[in-house]
């Protein structure tokens, strides 16, 4: 379904598309009979001065109170923030080719907790040589030389957080 002006007539989304701002329309503002019972609140989603989409709140026969509008504004803000964070994480991981496997991440978390190789091997039910092999790969992928550097780099790149480490 399209909310463009040419498809469904005047509505909050088509107006927000034209004006690039938050728009709240009442039933009497809508051109089409299809929207005659709706109250629509539309928030443009801006990322770096570009509108990437719209978050819209619709209500049938009841006006949209200020509290709901504020909640919609906050939801749009959260949506954009989480999108930025996810894009940043994926670009950091992708561009720098640090794609760590699940196993490597698991080993790295144990390393960060200060567990010796022997204990990690026993915890994961693998041989100590396998742990050493994975460590080598982790260091290579992250372009670091020791466990401390690997942990710091993973935190900087948001691959791992403090809460992932058992101390």
Partner 1 sequence: MTNLQPVDEIIASWRRCINYGVDKSANVINTGINEVVLQKELSKNKILGSIFDEIGGDFEELSSVKNVVLLLINSEGLLLKKNAVGN
Residues 74-103: x where in contact with partner 1 by CB under 8 A, - otherwise, as a string: -x--xx--xx--xx----------------
Q: Is 73 a binder of partner 1 (CB under 8 A)?
A: no
Residues 104-143: x where in contact with partner 1 by CB under 8 A, - otherwise, as a string: ----------------------------------------
User: Could you tell me the smallest distance in angstroms from the CB atom of residue 47 to partner 1?
Assistant: 10
Rounded to 10°, the helix 102-112/147-156 angle is: 110
What are 51's strand-pairing partners?
46
In whole angstroms, give the CA distance from residue 42 to residue 75.
12
Residues 16-55: x where in contact with partner 1 by CB under 8 A, - otherwise, as a string: -xxx-xxxxxx--x-xxxx------xx--x-----xxxxx
User: Could you tell me the smallest distance in angstroms from the CB atom of residue 130 to partner 1?
Assistant: 34
User: Could you tell me the smallest distance in angstroms from the CB atom of residue 63 to partner 1?
Assistant: 11
User: Could you tell me the smallest distance in angstroms from the CB atom of residue 114 to partner 1?
Assistant: 34
In whole angstroms, give the CA distance from residue 116 to residue 63.
62
Q: Which two tokens stand for residue 99?
A: 């794609």
Q: Which among 154, 57, 146 is positioned nearest to 100, based on CA atoms?
A: 154
Let me know: does 120 contact 105? Beta carbons within 8 Å. Answer: no
Q: Which among 32, 52, 62 is positioned nearest to 41, based on CA atoms?
A: 62
- Residue keyed to tokens 């950091």: 92
Footprint on this chain of partner 1 (rule: CB under 8 A): 1-10, 13-15, 17-19, 21-26, 29, 31-34, 41-42, 45, 51-60, 62, 64-65, 67-68, 71-72, 75, 78-79, 82-83, 86-87
């Amino acid at each position: 379904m399209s909310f463009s002006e040419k498809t469904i007539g005047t509505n909050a989304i088509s107006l927000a598309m034209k004006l690039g701002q938050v728009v709240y329309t009442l039933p009497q503002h809508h051109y089409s009979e299809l929207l005659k019972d709706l109250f629509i609140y539309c928030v443009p989603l801006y990322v770096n001065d570009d509108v990437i989409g719209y978050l819209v709140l619709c209500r049938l026969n009841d006006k949209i109170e200020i509290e709901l509008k504020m909640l919609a504004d906050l939801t749009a803000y959260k949506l954009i923030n989480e999108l930025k964070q996810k894009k940043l994480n994926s670009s950091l991981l992708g561009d720098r080719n640090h794609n760590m496997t699940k196993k490597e991440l698991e080993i790295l978390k144990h390393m960060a907790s200060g567990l010796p190789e022997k204990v990690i091997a026993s915890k994961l039910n693998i041989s100590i040589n396998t742990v050493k092999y994975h460590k080598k790969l982790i260091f290579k992928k992250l372009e670091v030389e020791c466990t401390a550097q690997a942990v710091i780099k993973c935190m900087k790149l948001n691959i791992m957080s403090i809460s992932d480490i058992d101390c």
